[in-house]
Every structure is written in structure tokens, then in C-alpha cells.
Amino acid sequence: MVEIAPSILAADFSRLGEEIQAVQNAGASMIHIDVMDGRFVPNITIGVPVVRSLRSATDLTFDCHLMIEDPDRYSPEFVRAGAQMVSVHQETCPHLHRSLQLIRDHGALAGAVLNPATPVHTLDDVLDLVDYVLVMSVNPGFGGQKFLPLAVEKIRRLDRIRQERNLAFRIEIDGGITLDNVGEVIRAGCDIVVAGTTIFGTPDPAQAFDAVRRAAEQTQLLRA
Ligand code: DX5
Ligand code: ZN
């Protein structure tokens, strides 16, 4: 089943609780939380205290995307704050195997993220240790950027590898998702679709969530 993960980066931060409630009421099962440190990426966003207080406002699954240097220093804290899914960038982890294991040891699902310039084969030796692979379809740092089509081939490749090696990791896509390209990424094999601006950048996020979900469902029917 494909899940839609609204990215709160595009939400109104003065009303975060209400914004999340709106997509939850519309049927969302998870939200995507972008953590940026102003070093690995040129932007600063959300930290552990915000995740902790959101935890008491909703029971949705928290998918924390760590765009930070030295993520091992913080990943356990994000799990303790309430994240059930934590992903780290391949580019920030010289000991990626250990970084993924650390997240699992603390009880969360572990994801490995690939920047647009990072090839799929760099994950070959950890694919049996990841719960999901996040394919970036923009250069990380900001919402509202244009989708990079090279991500579609990466999804196809990952989907092929998991079939060949009989692995069960999920494939997530993040960046520039719209009603026009959501079908294409699902057809390529994507299981989790992050959407920020397309959902929270609209006057009615609940309705926008519903539109993305319906577009995803239509494609799934075709894929099945
Ligand atoms: C970008 C973030 C994304 C961002 C996506 O660095 O990782 O999660 O919120 O936003 P949109 O959907 O607007 O591209
Ligand atoms: Zn993200």
C-alpha cells in the first residue's frame, strides 16, 4: 500500500498542531519532519523539542528526515522524542552501517537517504539493514523546488534490486511531488510519497491531501 507523507516544512509553523490535525482528519497515517542544521544543508528547521511537543499532539507516525552532519549524535534523541522512522543521508555517514543499526537499536525504522548526485550502488552493502530508502528528487534544503526526473530511474533500480535480492525495504520519494508526477513515481515502485508544498502550500491541506491520495490510489489500481 502506498502512503502519502505530508511534509510539515510547508505548513504554517504558528499553527502546526492544527495543520497536522487537518491532514490526520483527511486520513493521513504519517507526517514527514525535515530536520536541517544549516551545515549539511543551507537551512535550519526543526529540532528535538518540536518533535517532542508534536508527539503529544498527534498519534500519527513521525518520519524524521535528518539533513544534519553527525546524525549519530542526535538520531537516538529523535527516537526518544517520538519518531518511529528516522532516516540519515548516505553523504553524512562514513559509517552508515553503524548509523542505521543505531536507529534500529533504539527501536525505530531506519532509512538511508540518497541525494540526487549519489548513486544507488553506494547502498548495496546495507540494503539488508534498511527499513526504507529515501530517494531525493530535489537537492535537500528547501521545499517548493522542481522535481528532478533522474529520481524515477533510481526508484526503478531499487525496486529491481529488492525483487532480485528478496528484500523488503520500502522506497520513499521526497521533493517536488505534484498531482502530475505522483503517478509516475508510484508506477516506478515507490511506496511512500512525501509532499510538502502540494499539500500545505494550499489554502485547504485536507482537500489537497485527499487529491494526492486519490491520484495515488488510481495509479495503484493500474499497477496491481
Ligand atoms: C527538502 C525536504 C522535503 C521538502 C519537500 O529538503 O527534504 O521534505 O519538505 O517539499 P516539497 O514537497 O515542497 O518539494
Ligand atoms: Zn524531507
112-163: per-residue pLDDT in tens? 999 999 999 999 999 999 999 999 999 999 999 999 999 999 999 999 999 9
Distance (Å, whole) CA 166 – CA 154: 18
Q: Which residues contact 126 (CB under 8 A, 6 or more apart)?
A: 96, 97, 100, 112
Distance (angstroms) between ligand 1 centre and the Cα of 86 equals: 16
Of the pLDDT bands very low, low, confident and very high (cuts 50, 70, 90), residue 224 is low
Q: Which ligand is nearest to the CA of 143?
A: 1
Given 12, 34, 125, 210, which residue is catalytic?
34
98-119 mean pLDDT? 98
* 34 counts as catalytic: yes
pLDDT at residue 221 in the model = 76
Distance (angstroms) between ligand 1 centre and the Cα of 127 equals: 24
Is residue 71 within 6 Å of ligand 1 at its C-beta? no
Task: With H, G, I as helix, E, B as strand and everything else as coil, classify residue 122.
Answer: helix
65-87 mean pLDDT? 98
216 close to 193: Cβ distance less than 8 angstroms? yes
Distance (Å, whole) CA 21 – CA 24: 5
* 174 counts as catalytic: yes
Distance (angstroms) between ligand 2 centre and the Cα of 91 equals: 15
Distance (Å, whole) CA 136 – CA 177: 11
Q: What is the pLDDT of residues 163-173, one digit of tens each?
A: 999 999 999 99
Given 37, 63, 174, 191, which residue is catalytic?
174
Q: What is the pLDDT of residues 166-208, one digit of tens each?
A: 999 999 999 999 999 999 999 999 999 999 999 999 999 999 9
Distance (Å, whole) CA 154 – CA 137: 10
Task: With H, G, I as helix, E, B as strand and everything else as coil, classify residue 217.
Answer: helix
